[in-house]
Structure formats: structure tokens, C-alpha cells
Amino acid sequence: MPYTVREIFHSLQGEGVQAGRPAVFLRFSGCNLWSGREEDRAAAACRFCDTDFVGGEKYPDAQALAGAVRNVGGATRTVVVTGGEPGLQLDAALVAALHGLGFEVAVETNGTVDLPPGIDWVCVSPKAGTTLKVTRGDELKLVFPQAGAAPETFEHLDFTHFLVQPMDGPERDANTRAAIAHCLTRPRWRLSLQTHKIVGIP
């Protein structure tokens, strides 16, 4: 199956429980919750996205794409598959090809699309007003605050870690204070900062 990829880059995982870990980021094009065009943002299901996932380059098959991931990563053997919404394109063939090159495969998903089996680390970031299909995984990382997506409504799901990540944008400082206050009152939750933005790396 051909894949459309926005970018592949080598950086540190900035967010979540694995923050600080070197990884190759494989960012797929396209999302089911927003077109990626500014003129559509106000009417989209997900309106706070901080990412450009429009357009990109095609790879003809899983081997070609896995090889490209290896070629940008030096000795790093962790790949974070993201987007856009990676669940729209990530399939068993690509997971197998990445495993075949020695990669541990992590995914960042909005959780509304089924994932192939065999992924090593699943991070779900729920979006208000959507229905989760992926209800288990390693971390649930909720962008906070979101009207209609109270943290308490996710606590019954089968995740090892629960995190709140302050929504970036004009209210980021206030959102960070609110996220800290949330963790202090509900200690099941921990804070996820977007550390790559703080230190100025991709």
C-alpha cells in the first residue's frame, strides 16, 4: 500500500511518559478530524491542532518507508508514528517492516480509528465530541482543558498512564496552571509538557 508522509525527522520525544527519549518521527499526512486548512478550522471536530500535516511525499510500500525512517535516525531505533492521524495509514505491513529494521514502534493517535496489532507503545489523545475506538494502551494524554472532555470520563479506560497536556495557544499559561491544579487534586493524573517547544527542537 502506498503511504503519504508529511515529514520524517530525528528528535527527542517531547511529550508524555517517554519525554526525553530519542526517536524518529514519522508524520503521516491527513486527519479525519480536520482538513488541515485554516479556513476549515472553526468548523472542524478538532480545532486546536498545532501541526501542519497537509501534503507531502508518497512512498510506494512499507519497505521503502521503513528504510527512509532508518536513514534519518542514525543509531536511534525508536519511531514515533504520528500525523495527522496515523491510524488512517499505519498498517501491519509497516509495523512489520519497522520491527524488521529493529525499531520499537510508538504511535500518537486520536483514538477514533482502529490500529493494527503489534504496536509497542500506544498513546491515545482523546478529542471532545468524538467516539474512542482505541480504549486501551500505554498512555492516555488528554489536551486540557477541553469542554466536553473532562478527565474523569476517561479514568475507567485501560491505560497504564493518565496525563493532562496544557492546550497550546493564546491561553497556554492559564491552561498550564489549570493542568497543574488538576494533577494536585486528582493524583492519578500527571502533567505532560511539550518540552520540545520549550527547548526549541522539532
What amino acid positions are annotated as catalytic residues? 25, 31, 46, 49-51, 108, 196
Give the shortest CB-40-to-ligand SF4 separation in angstroms: 10
Q: Is 99 in the site for ligand 2KA (CB under 6 A)?
A: no
| Closer to ligand SF4 by Cβ: residue 23 or 49 | 49
- How many residues interact with ligand SF4 (rule CB under 6 A)? 12
28/77 Cα distance (integer angstroms): 19
CB environment 2-31: b (16+ within 10 A), e (fewer): ebbbbbbeeebbbbbbbeebebbbbbbbbb
Answer for which of 33, 54, 96, 149 binds ligand SF4 (CB under 6 A) is 33
6 binds, among ligand SF4, ligand SAM, ligand 2KA, none (CB under 5 to 8 A by kind): none
Q: Is 110 in the site for ligand SF4 (CB under 6 A)?
A: yes
Q: Is 86 in the site for ligand SF4 (CB under 6 A)?
A: no
| Closer to ligand 2KA by Cβ: residue 3 or 25 | 25
Q: Is 138 in the site for ligand 2KA (CB under 6 A)?
A: no
Q: Is 46 in the site for ligand SF4 (CB under 6 A)?
A: yes
37/9 Cα distance (integer angstroms): 23
Q: Could you list the residues that contact ligand SF4 (CB under 6 A)?
A: 31, 33-34, 46, 49, 51, 53, 83-85, 110, 127
Q: Could you list the residues that contact ligand 2KA (CB under 6 A)?
A: 11-15, 25, 51, 80, 82, 108, 196, 202
